[in-house]
C-alpha cells in the first residue's frame, strides 16, 4: 500500500519540480510522514535533493533527515550552512545523532559536534564510548525520570513539561536521590490515579532492565520476551543512564536476523540494503568465504585421489559421491541452523549441550534409517531395473546405503555440536552454519564411504 503511494507521488513531484510549483510541493510535503518524504526525496537524485529539502519546515526537515540514507545525509550536510546544520542537529534525539555520527566521515563529524550545544556534545561523546552493539550504544538519554515521593499530579506536570524532548513518555522511570533505578510508572497508571496518590504507591517494582555493556541481541530478546515498549539501561552501580525504545529494538532484531542469515550463507554481513551495494562491495562481502571454502575442499580432493585406484576398479561408486555429500550437507545444516536460531533467540544455552546432542542423535537415527531404506529400494528399482545400470551390484548398493546412514548421523551430530561449542568459546555460532559444516561433512562422508567399501567390497 505505502509503496505504491510513494511511487505515484514521485512522478507527481517530478512534474511539479519541472514546472517550479514550489509552494504546492511544500503543501504536499507537510501532509506526508518523514519516512515517505525521505523515500521520495531519495529518488530525486543529488542535484535536486538540497533544493527540495529546504522546502521542508524545520522540525519536519530534521525528522526527514534522520530517515535518509547516509550518502544523502552527507550530501545535504556538505551543502548546509552552519546555521542550517545547527537547526537540524538541535532537533535530533541524541541516539539518532549518535547513529548519524557513526556513519559520517571524520570532517563531517567534526562539524556536527561543533554545531551541537555543549550538553548534547557531552552526551554524544559518552554514548560513542560504549562498545559497538552494546545496550549503551543504542540507548537514548531522553527519558522521563520521577521520584518516589512525587504525587501523580506533580508527575503529570513533569511529564507535560518534558514531553516535547523525550523519546517516550508512556513509561516513566522512578529513581532515588542517588539516581538508582527503583521502579517504573506507565502514563496509563498516572492518568488513572487520583491527583494526590504518591508515585511509590502506583509504581511497579519488578522492573526489567539491562546494563550498558549487555549485547544488543540480549536487549532485543528482552523486549520480545516481556512485550516491552521501553527498557531502562543502568550502569554498574545500578544507576539509570538511559532507555532503549521499542523502535530501536525492532531495528536491532531485523539487523541481527539479517546478520545471522548472511553468516549462515557464508557472507560477511553489512548494514547496507542490497540494492544500495555496488557489485564490488558485494564481491568483497562474499569472496573471502568462497575462497576459504574452495581451498579447504582440497582435503576432499586428496581423499578421492588417495582412493583413485579403487574408484577406477569400482567406477559405479563415483556416481553416488554427489548424493552422499549433498544429503550429508543438508542433514548437517538442518541441525546447525535450528540450533543457531534457537541460540540467537535465547531459547538455548551451552548448558543444554547434552540434551541437544541426545535429541539430535535420535532424530539422526530416524532420518538415517528412513533415508537408507528408501535409497536402497530406489537404487534397486530406478538405477538398476529401470535405467539398466547393471554395474551397481547389491554390495555396492549396500555400501552406498550404509555410508548414507552413517553420514547422516555424523552430520547431524557435527551440525548441532559445532554452533554450541562456538558459543561456548565466544565465537559467533552463525559462522558455523551450512557451508562450514558442509565442508567438514564432505570429508567425513568420503572417509566413511571408502572405509565401508573396503570392508564390504574388499578394495
Q: Which is nearer to its own copies, 73 or 375 (CB)?
A: 375
Alpha-carbon gap, residue 72 to 65, rounded angstroms: 9
At closest approach, how far in Å is the CB of 237 from its own copies?
Answer: 16
Kindly tell me which of 199 and 337 has the beta carbon lying closer to its own copies: 337
Tell the smallest beta-carbon distance from residue 400 to its own copies (Å).
Answer: 10
The least distance separating its own copies from the CB of residue 291, rounded to whole angstroms, comes to 6
Minimum distance from residue 394 beta carbon to its own copies (Å): 17
Interatomic CA distance for residues 266 and 271, integer angstroms: 16
d(CA 359, CA 413): 10
Name the residue nearer to its own copies (CB basis): 122 or 355: 355
CB-nearer residue toward its own copies: 124 or 249: 249
- Residue 252 CB, shortest distance to its own copies, in Å, is 11
Q: Nearest approach, Cβ of 159 to its own copies (angstroms)?
A: 7
Residue 279 or 426 having the CB closest to its own copies: 279
User: Which one, 84 or 259, has the nearer CB to its own copies?
Assistant: 259
Name the residue nearer to its own copies (CB basis): 108 or 303: 303
Shortest reach from residue 20's CB to its own copies, in Å? 25
The residue (of 119 and 347) whose beta carbon lies closer to its own copies is 347
SS (H, E, C) the chain: CHHHHHHHHHHHHHHHHHCCCHHHHHHHHCCCCHHHHHHHHHCCCCCCHHHHHCCCCHHHHHHHHHHCCHHHHHHHHHHCCHHHHHHHHHHCCHHHHHHHHHHCCHHHHHHHHHHCCHHHHHHHHHHHCCCCCEHHHHCECCCCEECCCCEHHHHHHHHHHHHHHCCCCCEEEEECCCCEEEEEEEHHHHHHCCCCCEHHHHCECCCCCEECCCEHHHHHHHHHHHCCCEEEEECCCCEEEEEEEHHHHHHHHHHHHHHHHHHHCCCCCCCCCHHHCCHHHHHHHHHHHHHHHHHHCHHHHHHHHHCHHHHHHCCHHHHCHHHHHHHHHHHHHHHHHHHHHHHHCCCCCHHHHHHHHHHHHHHHHHHHHHHHHHHHHHHHHHHHHHCCCCCCCHHHHHHHHHHHHHHHHHHHHHHHHHHHHHHHCCCCHHHHCHHHHHHHHHHHHHHHHHHHHHHHHCC
Take residue 338 and report the three cell numbers written for it.
Answer: 535450528
Closest distance to its own copies from the beta carbon of 287 (Å): 6
Considering the complex, state which of residue 85 and residue 430 has its C-beta at the smaller distance from its own copies. 430
Give min distance, CB of 116 to its own copies, in A: 23
The span from the CA of 165 to the CA of 66, in Å, is: 16
CB of 319 to its own copies, least distance (A): 4
Nearer Cβ to its own copies, position 49 or 264? Answer: 264
Amino acid at each position: 500500500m505505502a509503496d505504491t503511494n510513494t511511487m505515484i507521488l514521485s512522478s507527481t513531484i517530478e512534474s511539479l519540480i519541472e514546472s517550479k510549483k514550489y509552494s504546492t510541493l511544500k503543501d504536499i510535503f507537510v501532509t506526508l510522514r518523514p519516512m515517505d518524504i525521505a523515500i521520495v526525496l531519495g529518488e530525486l537524485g543529488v542535484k535536486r535533493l538540497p533544493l527540495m529539502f529546504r522546502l521542508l519546515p524545520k522540525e519536519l526537515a530534521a525528522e526527514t533527515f534522520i530517515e535518509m540514507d547516509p550518502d544523502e545525509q552527507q550530501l545535504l550536510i556538505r551543502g548546509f550552512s552552519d546555521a542550517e546544520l545547527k537547526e537540524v542537529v538541535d532537533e535530533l534525539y541524541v541516539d539518532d545523532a549518535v547513529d548519524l555520527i557513526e556513519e559520517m566521515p571524520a570532517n563531517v563529524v567534526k562539524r556536527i559536534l561543533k554545531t551541537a550545544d555543549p550538553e548534547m556534545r557531552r552526551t554524544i561523546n559518552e554514548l560513542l564510548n560504549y562498545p559497538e552493539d552494546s545496550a549503551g550504544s543504542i540507548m537514548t538519554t531522553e527519558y522521563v525520570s520521577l521520584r518516589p515521593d512525587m504525587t501523580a499530579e506533580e508527575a503529570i506536570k513533569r511529564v507535560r513539561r518534558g514531553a516535547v524532548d523525550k523519546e517516550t513518555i508512556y513509561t516513566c522511570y522512578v529513581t532515588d536521590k542517588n539516581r538508582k533505578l527503583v521502579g517504573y510508572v506507565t502514563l496509563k497508571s498516572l492518568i488513572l490515579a487520583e491527583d494526590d496518590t504518591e508515585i511509590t504507591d502506583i509504581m511497579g517494582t519488578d522492573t526489567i532492565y539491562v546494563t550498558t555493556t549487555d549485547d544488543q541481541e540480549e536487549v532485543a530478546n528482552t523486549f520480545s520476551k516481556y512485550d516491552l515498549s521501553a527498557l531502562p539501561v543502568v550502569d554498574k552501580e545500578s544507576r539509570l543512564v538511559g532507555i532503549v525504545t521499542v523502535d530501536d529494538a525492532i531495528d536491532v532484531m531485523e539487523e541481527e536476523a539479517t546478520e545471522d542469515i548472511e553468516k549462515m550463507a557464508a557472507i560477511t554481513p553489512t548494514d547496507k540494503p542490497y540494492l544500495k551495494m555496488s557489485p564490488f562491495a558485494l564481491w568483497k562481502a562474499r569472496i573471502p568465504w568462497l575462497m576459504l571454502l574452495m581451498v579447504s575442499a582440497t582435503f576432499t580432493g586428496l581423499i578421492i585421489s588417495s582412493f583413485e585406484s579403487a574408484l577406477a576398479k569400482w567406477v559405479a561408486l563415483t556416481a553416488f559421491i554427489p548424493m552422499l555429500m549433498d544429503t550429508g550437507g543438508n542433514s548437517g545444516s538442518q541441525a546447525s541452523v535450528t540450533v543457531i536460531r534457537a541460540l540467537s533467540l535465547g531459547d538455548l544455552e551451552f548448558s543444554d549441550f547434552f540434551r541437544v546432542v541426545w535429541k539430535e542423535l535420535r532424530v539422526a537415527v530416524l532420518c538415517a534409517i528412513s533415508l537408507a531404506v528408501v535409497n536402497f529400494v530406489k537404487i534397486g528399482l530406478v538405477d538398476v531395473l529401470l535405467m539398466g545400470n547393471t554395474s551397481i551390484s547389491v554390495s555396492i548398493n549396500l555400501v552406498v546405503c550404509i555410508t548414507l546412514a552413517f553420514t547422516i548421523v555424523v552430520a547431524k551430530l557435527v551440525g548441532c555440536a559445532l554452533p554450541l561449542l562456538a558459543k561456548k568459546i565466544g565465537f559467533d555460532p552463525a559462522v558455523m552454519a551450512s557451508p562450514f559444516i558442509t565442508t567438514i561433512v564432505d570429508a567425513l562422508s568420503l572417509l566413511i564411504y571408502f572405509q565401508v567399501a573396503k570392508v564390504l567390497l574388499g578394495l
